Amino acid sequence: MQPKKSSSIKAGKAPGTLTHVGKRMEAETSVQVIAYSKTELVEEPSLPIAECQGFIDREEISWIQVTGIHDPDSIDALGSYLQLHPLVLEDIMNSGQRPKLEEFDDYIFIVLKMLFVDGTGKGIDVEQVSLILGPGYVISFQESARDLFEPLRQRIRQGKGRVRKMGADYLAYSLMDSIVDQYFVLLEQMGEVVDSLEASIVEEPELETLQTIQQIKRQLLHFRRAVWPLREIVAGLQRDGGALISEEMFAFLRDLHDHTIQVMETLETFHMTISEAMDLYMSSLSIRMNQVAQILTIMATIFIPLTFISGVYGMNFKHMPELNHPWAYPACLLFMLLIAAGMILFFRRKRWL
C-alpha cells in the first residue's frame, strides 16, 4: 500500500510552517557525519542532532547526512542548531519541491531529484535530495537511506580521487555528479526498452505494447521535471556562487552542465522516438485491421454468387427442370466450385489476396 500524501495538510498554514509533504519513507530522522582533510578522517555513523553544530565549526570539511525528513520536530531542531532559514526547512520537508538553487548570506541551498528504478522494474521512483553548501561543510537531506553516494563515501574513506584534497564546493559537486550519473544509467535502460519496442511494433502490435509506450512517456515526464531545472542550477553556481565556489570548480561545473544538456538532448530524442512509436503503432494497427477487413471482404465476395445459386435452387418450385435431372446436384456443386476458384485466381492476379 502506498503511504498517504499530506499535501492537503499544508494548505492554509503560514509560510515557514514545517509540515512533511510526500511519502513517509523512514521511521525516524537520523544523522551521519563524515569530517575529513588530506590527512584526517572522522566518521560518526549516528550523531545526536544537538552535536551537529560542532562539526560545522571544525577546520576539516564536514559532510552532515540527514536521512528522513518527515519529522517536523527533528528538522526544526536541526534548523535551529545549523541556523537554517525557516523557508529552507519548509522546502526540505516538501518532497514535491521543484529542483532549484537559492543563495543566502552564508550558504547555498540546492534541491535535486534522485531517480531509481522502482520495485516492478518498469517505473521510476523519485526521491528528493536537498543540499546546503556552506564554508567548509555540506549538509544533505534525503527522504530515505537509499541513495547513490556510497561510492563517494568509499572514496573519502580511502582517500582516492580529489575529494580529500578539495573543499566543500567539490563535495557538493560530487554529490550532484553522482545524481546525474544515475540519469545516464536510467537512460541506457530506457534506450534498450525503446529499441525493443520499435521492433515489437513492426512485428506484432499488441495492447501491451501501447501500455509500454504510455509507461515510457510517464518516465520521460519524471525525467524532464528532474533534469530541466538542473541546467539553471549548475549555471547559477558558476555565475552566483560567490566565495563558496572557487574558480578551480568552474571547469568541473562546466562539465556537469554539459552532462545535463546531454541528458536533456537524449530525453528529447526519446520523446520524439516514442511519439513516432505511437504513430507507428496506430499505423500498424490500422494496417492489420485493413488486412482483416480485406480478407473478410474477399470471403464475402466469393460467397455472394454461391449464395445466389443456392438461393435460386432452394426456392422449391415444381417447374424447375434442373431439379429432376440426375446430375443436377453434382453439376451445381461443381459450378459453384469453379466460380469460387475463378474468383480466387482473379483476386490473386490483382494482388488483393
Cβ-contact 64, 36 below 8 angstroms: no
Would you say residue 47 lies in a domain? yes
Does residue 310 fall inside a structural domain?
A: yes
Q: How many domains does the chain have?
A: 2
Answer yes or no: is 263 within a domain.
no
Mean pLDDT, residues 29-43: 91
If DSSP codes are grouped into helix, strand and coil, which group holds residue 116?
Answer: strand
What distance in Å separates the CA atoms of residue 309 and residue 336, rounded to the nearest whole number? Answer: 8
- For residues 115-132, give the mean pLDDT: 82
Residue 280 belongs to some domain of the structure: no
Q: Which of 129, 157, 179 marks a domain boundary? A: 179
Comparing 100-114, 145-159, 266-280, 282-296, which segment has the lowest mean pLDDT?
282-296
Is 243 inside a domain boundary? no
pLDDT value of position 108: 93
Q: Comparing 213 with 133, which gets the higher pLDDT? A: 133
Give tens-digit pLDDT for 170-221: 999 999 999 999 999 888 888 888 887 777 777 777 777 778 888 888 888 8
Q: Which residue has the cell 570539511?
A: 61
Of 16, 23, 78, whose CA–CA distance to 47 is shortest?
78
Last residue of a domain, one of 117, 144, 179: 179
126 located within any domain: yes
Do 167 and 300 fall into the same domain? no
Which pLDDT does position 116 carry in this prediction?
86
- Same domain for 298 and 173: no
Q: What's residue 160's pLDDT?
A: 84
CB 24, CB 3: distance < 8 Å: yes
Sequence-distant (6+) residues with CB within 8 A of 45 are: 32
pLDDT of residue 154: 93
For range 307-329, the mean pLDDT: 77
pLDDT for position 251: 92
Cell of 223: 525525467
CA distance 257 to 149: 20
Sign of the C-alpha dihedral, residues 297, 301, 302, 306?
positive
**Domain identity same for 159 and 297:** no
1 band by pLDDT with thresholds 50, 70 and 90 = very low
Instruction: Please indicate, yes or no, if residue 268 is contained in any of the structural domains.
Output: no
Phi, psi (degrees; rounded to nearest 5) at 241:
-65, -25
Chain position carrying cell 465476395: 301
Do residues 123 and 218 touch, judged by C-beta distance below 8 A? Answer: yes
CA distance to 12, 73, 114, 212, 289, per residue, from 19 (Å): 12, 10, 21, 36, 54
Q: Are 165 and 134 in contact (CB under 8 A)?
A: no
Grid coordinates in use for 86?
525557516
pLDDT in tens, 57-113: 888 899 999 998 888 888 898 888 888 899 999 999 988 888 999 999 889 999 999
Query: Of 221, 120, 242, 65, whose CA–CA distance to 169 is shortest?
Result: 242
Judgement on whether residues 37 and 166 belong to the same structural domain of the protein: yes
Q: How far apart are CA 193 and CA 179, in angstroms?
A: 22
Residue ending a domain, choose from 179, 214, 246: 179
How many Å apart are CA 20 and CA 7, to the nearest integer? 8
pTM for the predicted model, two decimal places? 0.78
Task: Give the three cell numbers for residue 77.
Answer: 531542531
Is the predicted pLDDT of residue 161 greater than 90, yes or no? no
Q: What is the 3-state secondary structure (H, E, C) of 284-301?
A: HHHHHHHHHHHHHHHHHH
Strand arrangement of the beta sheet that strand 30-36 belongs to? 41-44, 30-36, 61-67, 137-142, 124-134, 108-117, 100-103
301 and 161 in one domain? no
- Please report the pLDDT score of residue 111 as a whole number: 94
Mean residue pLDDT of the chain comes to 84
Question: What pLDDT score was predicted for residue 34?
Answer: 94
Q: What is the CATH number of the domain that holds 68?
A: 3.30.460.20
* Domain match, 154 and 10 both: yes
Which residue segment(s) compose the domain that 172 sits in? Answer: 1-179
Report pLDDT for 113: 92
What pLDDT shows up at residue 24?
72
Q: CA-CA distance, 178 to 115, in Å (whole number)?
A: 11
**Domain-embedded: residue 93:** yes
72-102 residues labelled b (16+ CB within 10 A) or e (exposed):
bebbbbbbebbebeeebbbbbbbbebebebe
Q: 16 vs 114, which has greater pLDDT?
A: 114
